[in-house]
Amino acid sequence: MHQTLPYLIDSDFPSVRRGPVKTLQVNLGYRCNLSCIHCHVAAGPKRTEQMDRETVDTVIAVLKTGRIETLDLTGGAPELNPYFRDLVRRARSLGVHVIDRCNLTILLEAEQSDLAAFLAEQQVEIIASLPCYLEENVDRQRGKGVYADSIQGLKRLNDLGYGRSDTGRILNLIYNPQGPVLPPPQCTLEHDYKERLRADHGIVFDRLFTLANMPIQRFGSLLISTGQFDDYLSLLKATHRDENLATVMCRDLISIDWQGYVYDCDFNQMLGLPLRLNGPSRLHLRDLDLNHLDGCPIQVADHCYGCTAGQGSSCSGALMD
């Protein structure tokens, strides 16, 4: 389900070109056990879109070329895809670093009781959403009871060595603002998170990533319905910094949707703006030659200001402190 807004596409955002592709970000489907208001994918329990076996095999074939350093798995809840674990095993056997974008509560689902142990065994890096260290704020954004379940999930990961420097099991958290504002400085907020989570729950983690909310899909619709869309877009444009352009994620990442089509980033995927090489047709992963991407222009629109506003924002957090 794409939501392409004309006033996003008619944009004055600066042109950006690609470097070598290092990361393959794969959306395994939109099914999720949560329905968060900030979700730019509009995922939820009633979504049925899931990547099939054939497309997963195509992803594995690309990994076998040896060109990809990191496989970044997202959704929905990517763990709900029936081929998630096989894909992780195959990628790790090829020496590819794997990231799982985990909502934490999925670790408590009855059919996922061994998920945390599996991720630890495979040395999968976990990037987990925890939009605040305060219970009321998390539950307001993600649903009642989500904070308590997230804390349980984090404790389970800590028990398996995640977030402890001597294990190599990396646990990073993601912060999203509660509304149409920019995130605070990442370094300062990370310090606050570590102090509060350790003091209140005995939880440790590696890094905190701060992400700006994108004015698309569920959050974009919320902004429109409350009359805040134009003001938020103006804020993003007013705080744009050219120096962030050098490190935006789309320079060395490509995004793959659940059907196998290729995009410059996950946000373009949600807007139906495919990666363009030759002609207007969508490019499928099976037809992609990674050698032809270096130096190619990236499709940009007004939502891209969400990545370059203030300290910058990407799938790996702030672009500068």
Q: What is the pLDDT of residue 316?
A: 57
Is residue 178 within 8 A of residue 132, CB to CB? The reply is yes
251 pLDDT above the threshold of 50: yes
Confidence band, pLDDT 50/70/90 cuts, at residue 1 = very low
pLDDT in tens, 160-203: 999 998 899 999 999 988 789 999 999 999 999 999 999 999 99
Q: Domain span at residue 34?
A: 6-308
Q: How many structural domains comprise the chain?
A: 1
Q: What is the pLDDT of residue 221?
A: 84
Confidence band, pLDDT 50/70/90 cuts, at residue 10 = confident
Q: What is the pLDDT of residue 37?
A: 62
pLDDT in tens, 102-157: 999 999 999 999 999 999 999 999 999 898 888 888 888 777 888 999 999 999 99
**Residue 133 forms part of a structural domain:** yes
The percentage of the chain sitting over the pLDDT mark of 90, rounded to a whole number, equals: 69
Q: What is the pLDDT of residue 203?
A: 97
Longest dimension (CA), the chain: 56
pLDDT in tens, 36-49: 666 667 678 889 89
The pTM (predicted TM-score) of the whole model is 0.92
Q: What is the pLDDT of residue 6?
A: 47
Structure tokens at 208: 């905190």
Rounded to the nearest angstrom, the gap between the alpha carbon of residue 97 and the centroid of all alpha carbons in its chain is: 16
Q: What is the pLDDT of residue 2?
A: 45
**Residue 318 forms part of a structural domain:** no
**Within 13 A of 169's CA, how many CA atoms are on the CB side?**
20
**Residue 319 forms part of a structural domain:** no
What average pLDDT is seen over the chain? 90
**Residue 314 forms part of a structural domain:** no
**Residue 272 forms part of a structural domain:** yes
Q: What is the pLDDT of residue 317?
A: 56
Average pLDDT on 7-35 reads 88
**Residue 247 forms part of a structural domain:** yes
Shortest CA distance to 41 belongs to which of 210, 268, 227, 251? Answer: 268
CA distance 26 to 22: 13
18 pLDDT above the threshold of 70: yes
**Residue 1 forms part of a structural domain:** no
Q: What is the pLDDT of residue 310?
A: 87
Q: What is the DSSP string of 258-318?
A: TTSBEESSHHHHHHT-B--SSSSSPPBGGG--GGGTTTPBPP--GGGHHHHBTT--BTTB-
Q: Which has more pLDDT, 317 or 285?
A: 285
**Residue 317 forms part of a structural domain:** no
Q: Output the CA–CA distances (angstroms, integers) from residue 50 to 129, 150, 164, 225, 259, in the order listed.
A: 21, 24, 33, 29, 8
Structure tokens at 249: 């994620």
Cis (ω within 30 of 0) for the bond into 76? yes
Q: What is the CATH number of the domain that holds 32?
A: 3.20.20.70
Q: What is the pLDDT of residue 279?
A: 66
Average pLDDT on 304-319 reads 76
